[in-house]
Copies of this chain bind each other. A is one copy, B any other.
Amino acid sequence: MNPLRSDRLRALLLCALLVLGGCATMQPDPLPSWSEGPARQAIVDFVRQTTDAASLQFVPPDRRIATFDQDGTLWVEQPMYAQVMFALDRVKDVVRAQPALANEEPFKAVVTGDREAMAKFTERDIFKIVAVTESGLSIEAFQQVVKRWLATAKHPKFQRPYTELVYAPMLEAMKYLRANGYRTYIATGGGQQFVRAFAEEVYGIPPEQVVGTMFRINYEIRDGKPALMSAPELFFLNDKGGKPVGINMVIGRRPQAAFGNSDGDRQMLEWATGSDGARLAMIVLHDDAVREYAYGPAAGQPDSKIGTFTEDLYDEAKKRGWTVISMKRDWKRVFAFER
């Protein structure tokens, strides 16, 4: 029998040719939205150093962990965090279901549209609103509510769904890291259940790779079936010093790379870079008022209560060799819809 007449062997040869063909093809640029410069170079160098088996800084695949803040690092956080926008919309439904809340602050201000009172909301008020909008629902029902909101809500400046306002260069960096054996995690001050509702579709990040702020969840039997029900009580705040703690809770390993944009990410960046070997820490500086927003107050940008990036963090970044990403200079495009 002519061996090439064997169907099985022919199929294998075809496979082999496809494999060889793939190797010979020029790889497309994995970071097309990044300008040439130190930020892009830092990513490429880090991946090369940690994945080349001959490198002294080689990192075994099981320890290739990269964590990303979400608001202001992966998507737009101005003029207000998306989850707060969601909560302000959703709180009206909650008050309809629990009318007693209508006379209670901070809910009253939202329901009556009292903009003056709302402008004075403290962080605690905001948390109260966010917590109540997650509560009283099973975790699955809450995710459906979030999905429905994301399908219709539009960002006030861009007039597009929030899920289109993810930064194309960061999506590329995530994919590039994943293609090199890194597992990419979100480590957000936002709600873990909120972000899980869309992280897989938007970022390719599965639920087990989302670390976030947690509200109390209780196991209950509802209509004879087990359910995980959210309660309006903060259980764990995944921000500032909480981020390394949350990362330890869900991952149990120190990240090799971490990406942030504000003082809420400082401890995560310190933690990721506070051990031996090649480490990558990057901070997005929002210095592009034309394509997105400009705020800091670091590097002479206007001050901001949302996503504050202080001069002090900027100094620490310089001192420790962390890479500040200038949105204006380092990103050829900010959003996928630009072209």
Q: Chain A 239-255 against B: per-residue CB contact (8 Å), 1 yes, 0 no?
A: 00111110011111100
Number of copies of this protein chain within its complex: 2
Provide a sorted-by-A list of 14 A–B residue pairs whose CB atoms are within 8 angstroms: A9-B16, A16-B16, A139-B248, A196-B252, A206-B252, A208-B252, A208-B253, A217-B248, A218-B245, A219-B242, A226-B244, A228-B248, A228-B271, A249-B250
A9 / chain B contacts, CB cutoff of 8 Å: 16
Question: Chain B nearest CB: distance from A67 CB in Å?
Answer: 12
Given contacts A207-B251, A250-B249, A267-B219, contact A225 B274 (CB under 8 A): yes
Residue pair A244, B219 in contact (C-beta under 8 Å): yes
Question: Chain B nearest CB: distance from A190 CB in Å?
Answer: 14
Question: Within the assembled complex, what's the spacing in Å between the Cα atoms of A178 and B283?
Answer: 38
Question: Chain B nearest CB: distance from A243 CB in Å?
Answer: 8
- Which of B228, B244, B252 interacts with A245 by CB under 8 Å? B228
Contact residues, A190-211 vs B (CB, 8 A): 192, 196, 206-208, 210
Question: Within the assembled complex, what's the spacing in Å between the Cα atoms of A248 and B249?
Answer: 12
**Top 6 closest pairs, chain A to chain B, by CB:** A207-B252, A219-B241, A12-B16, A226-B274, A226-B270, A219-B244
A250 / chain B contacts, CB cutoff of 8 Å: 208, 249-250
Q: Which of A196, A208, A218, A252 gathers most chain B CB within 10 Å?
A: A252
- Write the residues of chain A forming the contact surface with B, with a CB cutoff of 8 angstroms: 8-9, 12-13, 15-16, 19-20, 62, 139, 192, 196, 206-208, 210, 214, 217-219, 225-226, 228, 241-245, 248-253, 267, 270-271, 274
A62 / chain B contacts, CB cutoff of 8 Å: 206
Residue pair A228, B206 in contact (C-beta under 8 Å): no
List 13 additional contacts besides A192-B252, A208-B253, A226-B271; criterion CB under 8 Å.
Answer: A8-B20, A12-B12, A12-B13, A12-B20, A13-B16, A207-B251, A207-B253, A208-B251, A217-B245, A218-B241, A228-B244, A228-B248, A249-B249
Question: Within the assembled complex, what's the spacing in Å between the Cα atoms of A251 and B251?
Answer: 10
A8 / chain B contacts, CB cutoff of 8 Å: 20
A252 nearest in chain B by CB position: B207
A243 / chain B contacts, CB cutoff of 8 Å: 219
Residue pair A219, B271 in contact (C-beta under 8 Å): yes
A20 / chain B contacts, CB cutoff of 8 Å: 8, 12
A4 nearest in chain B by CB position: B3
Question: Within the assembled complex, what's the spacing in Å between the Cα atoms of A251 and B274?
Answer: 27
- Which of B13, B210, B219 interacts with A252 by CB under 8 Å? B210
A240 nearest in chain B by CB position: B219
A253 / chain B contacts, CB cutoff of 8 Å: 207-208
Question: Within the assembled complex, what's the spacing in Å between the Cα atoms of A20 and B208?
Answer: 36
Residue pair B226, A267 in contact (C-beta under 8 Å): yes
A12 / chain B contacts, CB cutoff of 8 Å: 12-13, 16, 19-20
A65 nearest in chain B by CB position: B208
Question: Chain B nearest CB: distance from A304 CB in Å?
Answer: 24
Question: Within the assembled complex, what's the spacing in Å between the Cα atoms of A196 and B249?
Answer: 11
